[in-house]
């Protein structure tokens, strides 16, 4: 169970900020919550200023009242520590809490997520506040979890960070000789003689704008700075965690992640968290595969453990370029999509719309009209009713996948800091291209880290594994030797952990497993491409085309054009009892779908079922049985032939194996499998 206490359903609720309102609306809020079947509220996310109005003054009167209010109304609480925005007095008195930007500009008080992660003041007072909250409220039985700060992120380049960076480097490298080696400072005469000569990599030193992307002259230092910032914020999280655990070791602790957020190594973070929670705000025009992949990433952070959908908007997100409405049914559909991928709670930002500042036009259960006669309220109340009826039947369900996609933050940073070979190198896009194929084939896939155990998988794909870290090649070798299928792509295996090239031919440490070596790579400008044939059909090869030689592998396809026509573009290598595949260029969704289908067939991985393209299919299972989720993301009614008999938990409808299930646009079915 992810939560503290007696939780027997998918919790439903979200951020609630009654402190932004007069008490006269509180009782009305409670009435509306009951009507919408809200049972959990995230409190106290941005209240530091009122909880600690001065350095030695704490004031919990208002929070006491709010805690009483929600407790008297039977609500569970996800209690935040309020440390994602420091109070104004603190910024004035202790400017070390203020961040310095990438261009060296020292910030003044303002905004949020604004504290320097290496500020002694921030660290001291954030942990102190967290401790006081735990001491004061910890024994209230309705706190289901601690919510530390909020959406950690951003970066800082101040002097405290610079000092702390040097300490971090000493810890990592021990000696300056080793640091100089790891960063290859012999290049451009950058040798460091003293630790104090190391400065933060920003626009004042190694980094620069290249179009709208940030580039660096020294990948080693920039990469280490990313790691350092991620670690620094993790330390802040840990200090607060320790403070609350001191009083309430039984209450689980989390912080809300942001899916594929590049700034923090969530795989490393998740090891310090009791459960993962995240905020899902799909960009305007995003396809359902993107949210699905983010959910799978979040589930993978703790090896398949259920997670919490901490925030999503009931309808609009004020900060999007176009604050389009979620069409009728979409909020429900996306909520169930989270559950279908492993979420055990459905939560929102937020319960009541504020009247001031930048989020006053963000979606909420209760909007400015102030009553329940709105489309959004009705849809939320209806979903709340459904979740209440579902009870605990789906809780703690796990998804079983025999295919995995490897995702690695260091690799993401390193691949995209690389000066060359192409501005079209985008790690996320490469992952998504492969993910989409699994999604469309209804083949469950886990998104895993290089630290995870590979033994349960039949197929491991590692798109654009530019950095193959120490030990990961050994793990892959063992996996393939033992009968596993492994697939990787162009721009893989180039460098080791410090972004230093592994010499002897690309893809470095992966050469022997793949049975190839890459001599050159041709970066094609946008719109240009080569071609190849696969299964009798023609597909595109673009972005980067490797010119490779076979060293034991066989060519499954070759380039059709240019001076490298006839050279392999897709290869397979029998290695031990398994096989390793290499895709030497970027292709299109049509190719990936065909190829992944063939690979899965050969690896003995079967889809959950066949279904029309618009229907997303997943499976979760727990002690209560197996649950098949069908989600119609399309604009029309769709029909799918069921691979099993089952009972729809939402409608009560019963189906036999082989029967057709009709699903209206944006509708969802959750079938308890009865006959396989
Ligand atoms: C984030 C934050 C919330 C709120 C929402 C608005 O997810 O965590 O405080 O600002 O965005 O979309
Ligand atoms: Zn700083």
Reply yes or no on whether the pLDDT at 44 is more than 90.
yes
Looking at all shown ligands, the one closest to residue 100's CA atom is: 2
pLDDT at 523: 98
Taking the centre of ligand 2 as the mean of its atom positions, its distance from the CA of residue 156, in whole angstroms, is 4
Each residue's pLDDT tens digit, 54-105: 999 999 999 999 999 999 999 999 999 999 999 999 999 999 999 999 999 9
Reply yes or no on whether the pLDDT at 675 is more than 90.
no
Each residue's pLDDT tens digit, 327-363: 999 999 999 999 999 999 999 999 999 999 999 999 9
| Nearest of 236, 171, 161 to residue 202 by alpha carbon | 161
Taking the centre of ligand 2 as the mean of its atom positions, its distance from the CA of residue 149, in whole angstroms, is 17
Each residue's pLDDT tens digit, 115-133: 999 999 999 999 999 999 9
Each residue's pLDDT tens digit, 573-630: 999 999 999 999 999 999 999 999 999 999 999 999 999 999 999 999 999 999 999 9
Structure tokens at 513: 């497993």
Band (522; pLDDT cuts 50, 70, 90):
very high
Question: Backbone phi, then psi, for 230, in 5-degree steps?
Answer: -60, -45
> To test ligand 1's pocket by mutation, which of 317, 349, 354 has the most ligand atoms within 8 angstroms of CB?
349
> To test ligand 1's pocket by mutation, which of 17, 112, 151 has the most ligand atoms within 8 angstroms of CB?
151
Each residue's pLDDT tens digit, 372-421: 999 999 999 999 999 999 999 999 999 999 999 999 999 999 999 999 89
Reply yes or no on whether the pLDDT at 284 is more than 90.
no
DSSP labels, 405-454: EE--HHHHHHHHH---S-TT--HHHHHHHHHHHHHHHT--EEEE-TTS--
pLDDT at 454: 98
pLDDT at 592: 98
Cβ of 317 closer than 6 Å to ligand 1, yes or no, is yes
Each residue's pLDDT tens digit, 169-195: 999 999 999 999 999 999 999 999 999
- Of the chain, the percentage scoring pLDDT greater than 70 comes to 100
Taking the centre of ligand 1 as the mean of its atom positions, its distance from the CA of residue 313, in whole angstroms, is 9
- Give a three-class secondary structure readout of 234-282: HHHHHHHHHHHHHHCCCCCEECEECCCCCCCCHHHHHCCCCCCEEECCC
**Helix, strand, coil % (nearest 5) of the chain?**
30, 25, 45
Q: What is the mean pLDDT of the chain?
A: 98
pLDDT at 212: 86
Reply yes or no on whether the pLDDT at 26 is more than 90.
yes
Taking the centre of ligand 1 as the mean of its atom positions, its distance from the CA of residue 104, in whole angstroms, is 27
**Residue nearest atom 5 of ligand 1, based on CA coordinates:** 349
- Of the chain, the percentage scoring pLDDT greater than 90 comes to 99
Cβ of 17 closer than 6 Å to ligand 1, yes or no, is no
Reply yes or no on whether the pLDDT at 567 is more than 90.
yes
Q: How much is the average pLDDT of 484-505?
A: 98
Reply yes or no on whether the pLDDT at 370 is more than 90.
yes
Each residue's pLDDT tens digit, 127-150: 999 999 999 999 999 999 999 999
Reply yes or no on whether the pLDDT at 264 is more than 90.
yes
Q: How far apart are CA 372 and CA 370, in angstroms?
A: 7
Ligand 1: which atom is nearest the Cα of residue 256? Answer: 8
Ligand 1: which atom is nearest the Cα of residue 151? Answer: 8
0.95 cut: is pTM over it?
Answer: yes
Looking at all shown ligands, the one closest to residue 258's CA atom is: 1
CA torsion sign, 304 to 305 to 306 to 308?
A: negative
- For the annotated catalytic residues, the residue numbers are 151, 311
Q: Are 173 and 185 in contact (CB under 8 A)?
A: no
Cβ of 82 closer than 6 Å to ligand 1, yes or no, is no
Reply yes or no on whether the pLDDT at 538 is more than 90.
yes
Q: Is 44 left (phi over 0), alpha (psi -120 to 50) or beta?
A: left
Q: Which residue do the tokens 């400015």 mark?
A: 368
Taking the centre of ligand 2 as the mean of its atom positions, its distance from the CA of residue 537, in whole angstroms, is 54
Ligand 1: which atom is nearest the Cα of residue 258? Answer: 7
């Amino acid at each position: 169970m992810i939560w503290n206490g007696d939780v027997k359903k998918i919790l439903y609720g979200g951020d609630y900020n009654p402190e932004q309102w007069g008490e006269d609306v509180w009782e009305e809020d409670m009435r509306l919550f009951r009507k919408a079947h809200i049972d959990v509220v995230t409190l106290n996310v941005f209240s530091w200023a009122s909880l600690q109005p001065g350095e030695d003054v704490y004031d919990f009167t208002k929070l006491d009242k709010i805690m009483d209010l929600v407790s008297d109304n039977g609500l569970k609480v996800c209690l935040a520590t309020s440390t994602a925005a420091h109070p104004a007095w603190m910024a004035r008195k202790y400017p070390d809490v203020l961040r310095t930007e990438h261009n060296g500009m020292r910030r003044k008080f303002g905004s949020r997520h604004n504290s320097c992660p290496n500020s002694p003041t921030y660290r001291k007072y954030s942990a102190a506040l967290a401790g006081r909250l735990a001491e004061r409220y910890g024994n209230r039985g309705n706190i289901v979890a601690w919510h530390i700060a909020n959406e950690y992120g951003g970066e800082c380049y101040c002097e405290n960070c610079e000092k702390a960076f040097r300490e971090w480097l000493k810890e990592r490298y021990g000696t300056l000789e080793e640091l100089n080696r790891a960063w290859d400072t012999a290049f451009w005469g950058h040798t460091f003689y003293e630790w104090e000569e190391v400065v933060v990599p920003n626009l004042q030193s190694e980094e620069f704008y290249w179009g709208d992307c940030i580039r660096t002259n020294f990948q080693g230092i920039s990469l280490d700075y990313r790691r350092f910032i991620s670690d620094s914020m993790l330390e802040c999280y840990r200090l607060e965690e320790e403070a609350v655990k001191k009083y309430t070791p039984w209450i689980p602790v989390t912080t809300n992640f942001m899916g594929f957020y590049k700034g923090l190594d969530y795989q490393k973070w998740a090891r310090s968290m009791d459960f993962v929670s995240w905020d899902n705000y799909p960009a305007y025009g995003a396809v359902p595969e993107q949210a699905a992949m983010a959910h799978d990433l979040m589930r993978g952070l703790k090896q398949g453990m259920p997670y919490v959908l901490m925030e999503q908007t009931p309808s609009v997100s004020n900060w999007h370029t176009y604050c389009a409405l979620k069409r009728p049914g979409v909020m429900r559909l996306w909520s169930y999509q989270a559950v279908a991928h492993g979420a055990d709670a459905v939560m929102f930002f937020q319960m009541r719309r504020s009247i001031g500042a930048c989020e006053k036009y963000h979606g909420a259960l209760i909007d400015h009209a102030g009553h329940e006669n709105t489309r959004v309220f009705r849809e939320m109340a209806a979903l709340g009713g459904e979740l209440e009826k579902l009870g605990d039947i789906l809780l703690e369900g796990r998804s079983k996948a025999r295919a995995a996609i490897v995702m690695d933050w260091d690799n993401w940073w390193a691949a995209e800091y690389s000066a060359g070979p192409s501005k079209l190198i985008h790690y996320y896009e490469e992952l998504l291209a492969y993910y989409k194929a699994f999604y469309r084939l209804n083949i469950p896939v886990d998104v895993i880290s290089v630290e995870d155990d590979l033994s349960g998988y039949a197929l491991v794909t590692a798109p654009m594994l530019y950095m193959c870290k120490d030990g990961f090649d050994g793990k892959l070798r063992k996996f393939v030797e033992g009968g596993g299928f492994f697939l990787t792509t162009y721009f893989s295996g180039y460098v080791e952990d410090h972004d230093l090239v592994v010499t002897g031919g690309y893809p470095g440490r992966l050469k022997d497993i793949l049975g190839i070596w890459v001599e050159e790579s041709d970066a094609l400008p946008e719109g240009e491409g080569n071609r190849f044939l696969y299964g009798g059909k023609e597909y595109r090869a673009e972005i980067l085309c490797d010119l490779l030689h076979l060293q034991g592998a066989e060519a499954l396809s070759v380039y059709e054009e240019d001076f490298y026509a006839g050279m392999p573009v897709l290869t397979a290598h029998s290695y031990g009892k398994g096989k390793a595949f290499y895709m030497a260029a970027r292709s299109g969704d049509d190719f990936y779908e065909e190829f992944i289908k063939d690979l899965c067939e050969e690896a003995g991985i079967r889809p959950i079922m066949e279904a029309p393209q618009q229907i997303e299919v997943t499976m979760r299972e727990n002690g209560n049985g197996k649950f098949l989720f069908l989600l119609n993301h399309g604009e029309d009614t769709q029909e799918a032939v069921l691979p099993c008999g089952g009972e729809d938990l939402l409608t009560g409808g019963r189906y036999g194996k082989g029967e057709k299930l009709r699903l209206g646009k944006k509708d969802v079915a959750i079938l308890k499998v009865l006959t396989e």
